[in-house]
């Protein structure tokens, strides 16, 4: 049965490479990998499919992962897409998938995945990992609460791997849960699904399993009785613009927010940081990022919107 199944993985970082390798070794029929980034030396500590040669060549992660996976199991059909998956791309990819694994690095994409999964009735498995902490939850459209429901009750965002790091055992623990749930879905053993939010902190010896049935909301705009799929609407998607005459990209979140600059500063451990009551400036070797209280960010040193979005999510998740 596995050989007839098609899995889509969004993200080829720590979670994505680990899950992809396990699924390819298990012998699924088809795997599609989507990622917008390239391999860097700092990735090798936690992203298991890549080598120093990949980093030195700045190979796109999706391509490097595909080449490595083909050497592991050549019977699996593997597609690699170098792209920043937005609504149009997600809708096209979802129509060919039996299951989606979340291995992305930002909630903007996750919320779009959540809405598209409801439209096309495709299950997906949420996963997140930072430091020694990780969590996972399986979402079955029409049955379980969706990620939008969960966000009303449980804070799932925060720090990123690039600001506080991550230990490899925590990555493997998350993907152990994700891939096990994936295999249950792929062989259609739905009765064995965990149906709980799993969270843990390996360093502090904590493990929690929370039943989420009561979190499902009939008025949820993503999975409720009258869904509007808000995260697919243009006004809720990130706005980007190259500033005229400047080597700068402005990024503005889709929804209004008030950024806590003090909390952001605490998570910035490399580079030069300057702050006044109105903004925070973060200088790295190649770029300067200006964070405003209203959520806007100016990224100096590039006119490439894809690169700017990558830098934005690298800091803010």
Per-residue three-class SS string for 108-160: HHHHHHHHHHHHHCCCEEEEEEEECEEEEEEECCCCCCCHHHHHCCCCCCCCC
Which tens digits make up the pLDDT trace of 28-52?
999 999 987 788 888 899 999 999 9
Least confident stretch, 65-79, 128-142, 260-274: 260-274
Give start-end residues of each CATH 3.40.50.720 domain in the chain.
2-232
- Considering only residues 263 and 69, tell me which one the structure prediction assigns the higher pLDDT: 69
pLDDT at 294: 76
Per CATH, domain 2-232 is 3.10.180.10? no
Computed on alpha carbons and rounded to an integer, the radius of gyration of the chain in Å comes to 19
Is residue 129 among the annotated active site residues? no
As a whole number, the mean pLDDT across the chain is: 89
Positive or negative CA dihedral for 242, 244, 245, 248? negative
Q: Residue 83 and residue 63: Cα distance in Å, rounded?
A: 11
Active-site residue identified among 146, 149, 161, 223: 161
Q: What is the largest CA-CA distance in the chain?
A: 59
Give start-end residues of each CATH 3.30.310 domain in the chain.
238-316
Q: Give the CATH number of domain 238-316.
A: 3.30.310
pLDDT at 67: 96
With a pLDDT cut of 70, the percent of the chain lying above it is: 93
């Amino acid at each position: 049965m596995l050989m007839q199944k098609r899995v889509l993985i969004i993200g080829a970082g720590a979670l994505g490479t680990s899950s992809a390798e396990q699924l390819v070794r298990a012998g699924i029929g088809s795997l599609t990998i989507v990622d917008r980034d390239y391999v860097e030396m700092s990735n090798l500590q936690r992203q298991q499919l890549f080598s120093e040669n990949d980093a030195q060549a700045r190979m796109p992660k999706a391509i490097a992962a595909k080449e490595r996976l083909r050497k592991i199991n050549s019977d699996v059909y593997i597609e690699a897409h170098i792209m920043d998956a937005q609504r149009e791309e997600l809708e096209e990819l979802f129509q060919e998938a039996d299951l989606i694994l979340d291995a992305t690095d930002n909630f903007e994409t996750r919320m779009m995945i959540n809405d598209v999964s409801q439209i096309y009735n495709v299950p997906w498995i949420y996963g997140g990992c930072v430091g020694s902490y990780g969590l996972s939850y399986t979402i079955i459209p029409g049955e379980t609460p969706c990620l939008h429901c969960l966000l009303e009750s449980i804070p799932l965002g925060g720090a990123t791997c690039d600001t506080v790091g991550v230990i490899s055992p925590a990555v493997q623990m998350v993907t152990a849960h994700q891939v096990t749930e994936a295999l249950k879905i792929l062989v259609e053993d739905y009765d064995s699904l965990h149906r709980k939010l799993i969270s843990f902190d390996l360093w502090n010896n904590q493990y929690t399993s929370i039943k989420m049935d009561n979190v499902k909301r009939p008025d949820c705009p993503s999975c409720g009785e009258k869904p509007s799929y808000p995260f697919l609407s243009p006004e809720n998607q990130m706005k980007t613009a190259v500033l005229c005459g400047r080597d700068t990209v402005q990024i503005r979140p889709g929804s209004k927010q008030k950024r806590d600059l003090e909390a952001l500063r605490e998570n910035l451990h490399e580079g030069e940081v300057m702050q006044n009551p109105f903004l925070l400036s973060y200088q790295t070797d190649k770029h300067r990022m200006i964070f405003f209280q209203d959520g806007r960010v100016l990224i100096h040193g590039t006119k490439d919107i894809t690169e700017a979005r990558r830098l934005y999510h690298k800091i803010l998740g």
